[in-house]
């Protein structure tokens, strides 16, 4: 029997930063540094409540991209996952974009490697390539147009009927868009590790427990879950649905639990019940988003590190499909 130790890549040396004084008023320091740096803090709805509350803008992937495009700040501090901050950088190559933790990736983006994607695309040379914003800059550079869950239907409907379409990387969102538009599309077989954990079986139990509640779901959920939903939409659309559907008092929410912070904030007294994932956890959290903390946001603004960088040639190629999406709104 061989006793050879399998070869592992050497760990990258990341120098330790000094510990933060736990008595420091982090909120006040973040606000002070933000002004000193002429920075804007952008936060996704899946971030912890205190990170949403300190942000200048909190939104979904589309809203965050629109804000990033329009900002005159010198620094963008992005509380979200890597592809979101990278999109902000593509739109602002002259600005500094920092993230609390650059390890905050995304299962969809990580499972769509550009070399494999490029090879896969060779089978579909005459197809329009529509990529979800949850992709790396290199995938965006290989795409014709980007979409988010808010505008995916609009983006696909903008493509002439006689054109064939490839959609990547979320197969559930892709299938849902096919059903909304009646368009056939070739789907990359990606999925989100958070949304795939909701099951129709568990949701049925919750629906029995709360018979008056509306079930609302993100289109990254499996079709069996979407088939049960009273409403399907992006994070922003789900929040708006809860705020505007005032004749309903209870909602079962099948997406990451961070959205419930805004639902409760914008409609005090509403009962929002987080759908339980099938993992044994009681609530659905995106493990990547939750790598960002207030401490790391403070350090990012203080040190302007870790910074998001995108090679110039990739950024230039990725910008066009992102701009095409933003033009559609």
Residues making contact with ligand SF4 (CB under 6 A): 81, 106-108, 134, 192-194, 220, 256, 286, 288-289
Q: Which long-range contacts (CB under 8 A, 24 or more apart) does 65-74 make?
A: 65/91, 65/133, 65/148, 65/322, 65/325, 65/326, 66/326, 67/40, 67/42, 68/42, 68/92, 69/326, 71/40, 71/95, 73/38, 73/39, 73/40, 74/37, 74/38, 74/39
Quick one: 256 or 276, whose CB is closer to ligand SF4? Answer: 256
Quick one: 159 or 292, whose CB is closer to ligand SF4? Answer: 292
State the binding partner of 167 from ligand SF4, ligand 13P, none, CB within 5 to 8 A by kind: none
Cβ(310)–Cβ(90) below 8 Å: yes
Q: Footprint of ligand 13P on residues 304-323 (CB under 6 A)?
A: none
Does position 149 interact with ligand 13P (CB under 6 A)? The reply is: yes
Does position 86 interact with ligand 13P (CB under 6 A)? The reply is: no
Q: List 186's β-bridge partners, or say none.
A: 166
Strands 250-254 and 214-217: parallel
Q: How many residues does the chain have?
A: 329
Quick one: 67 or 255, whose CB is closer to ligand SF4? Answer: 255
CB of 85 to ligand SF4, least distance (A): 12
State the binding partner of 107 from ligand 13P, ligand SF4, none, CB within 5 to 8 A by kind: ligand SF4
Does position 234 interact with ligand 13P (CB under 6 A)? The reply is: yes
Does position 262 interact with ligand 13P (CB under 6 A)? The reply is: no
Quick one: 89 or 218, whose CB is closer to ligand 13P? Answer: 218
| Nearest in space to 99 (alpha carbons), one of 47, 149, 28 | 47
Quick one: 39 or 192, whose CB is closer to ligand 13P? Answer: 192
CB of 104 to ligand SF4, least distance (A): 8
For residue 53, count other CB atoms closer than 10 A to its CB: 13
312-328 helix and 61-70 helix, angle to the nearest 10 degrees = 110
Q: Is residue 15 packed enough to be buried (19+ CB in 10 Å), middle (13-18) or exposed (0-12)?
A: exposed
Cβ(30)–Cβ(20) below 8 Å: no
Each residue 210-229 as x (binds ligand 13P by CB under 6 A) or -, in order, gives --------x-x---------
Does position 92 interact with ligand 13P (CB under 6 A)? The reply is: no
Q: Footprint of ligand 13P on residues 268-297 (CB under 6 A)?
A: none
CB of 198 to ligand SF4, least distance (A): 11
Does position 192 interact with ligand 13P (CB under 6 A)? The reply is: yes
d(C-alpha 285, C-alpha 104), whole Å: 13
DSSP 123: T
State the binding partner of 234 from ligand SF4, ligand 13P, none, CB within 5 to 8 A by kind: ligand 13P
Q: Cα 72–75–77 angle (5° rounding)? A: 115
Residue whose structure tokens are 């929040």? 239
CB of 170 to ligand 13P, least distance (A): 9
Structure tokens at 208: 């029995």
CB of 269 to ligand 13P, least distance (A): 25
CB of 37 to ligand 13P, least distance (A): 26
Query: In the β-sheet with 164-168, what is the strand arrangement from edge to edge?
Result: 145-147, 127-132, 164-168, 185-187
Does position 148 interact with ligand 13P (CB under 6 A)? The reply is: yes
Instruction: Give the interface with ligand 13P as residue ranges (CB under 6 A).
Output: 60-61, 134, 148-149, 192, 218, 220, 234-235
């Amino acid at each position: 029997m061989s006793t050879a130790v399998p070869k592992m890549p050497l760990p990258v040396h990341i120098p330790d930063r000094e510990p933060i004084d736990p008595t420091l008023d982090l909120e006040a320091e973040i606000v002070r540094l933000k002004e000193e740096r002429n920075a804007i803090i952008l936060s996704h709805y899946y971030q912890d409540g205190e990170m949403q509350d300190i942000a200048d803008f909190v939104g979904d992937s589309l809203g965050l991209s629109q804000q990033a495009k329009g900002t005159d700040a010198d620094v963008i501090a992005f509380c979200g996952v890597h592809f979101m901050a990278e999109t902000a950088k593509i739109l602002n190559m002259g600005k500094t974009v920092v993230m609390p933790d650059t390890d905050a990736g995304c299962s969809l983006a990580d499972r769509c490697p550009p070399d494999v994607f490029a090879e896969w695309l060779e089978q579909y040379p005459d197809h329009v390539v529509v990529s979800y914003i949850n992709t790396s800059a290199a995938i965006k550079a290989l795409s014709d147009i980007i979409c988010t869950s808010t505008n995916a239907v609009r983006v696909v409907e903008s493509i002439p009927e006689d054109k064939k379409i490839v959609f990547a990387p979320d197969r559930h969102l892709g299938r849902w868009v096919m059903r909304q538009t009646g368009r056939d599309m070739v789907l990359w077989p990606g999925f989100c590790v958070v949304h795939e954990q909701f099951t129709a079986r568990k949701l049925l139990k919750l629906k029995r427990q709360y018979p008056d509640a509306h079930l609302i779901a993100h289109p990254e959920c499996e079709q069996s879950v979407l088939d049960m939903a009273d409403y399907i939409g992006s994070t922003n659309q789900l929040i708006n649905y809860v705020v505007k559907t005032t004749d309903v008092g209870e909602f079962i929410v099948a997406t990451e639990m961070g959205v419930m912070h805004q639902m409760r904030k914008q409609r005090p007294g509403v009962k929002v019940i987080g759908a339980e994932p099938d993992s044994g956890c009681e609530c659905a959290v995106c493990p990547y988003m939750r790598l960002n903390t207030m401490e790391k946001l403070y350090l990012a603004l203080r040190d302007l590190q870790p910074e998001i960088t995108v090679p110039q040639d990739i950024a230039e190629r990725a910008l066009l499909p992102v701009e095409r999406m933003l033009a559609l709104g």
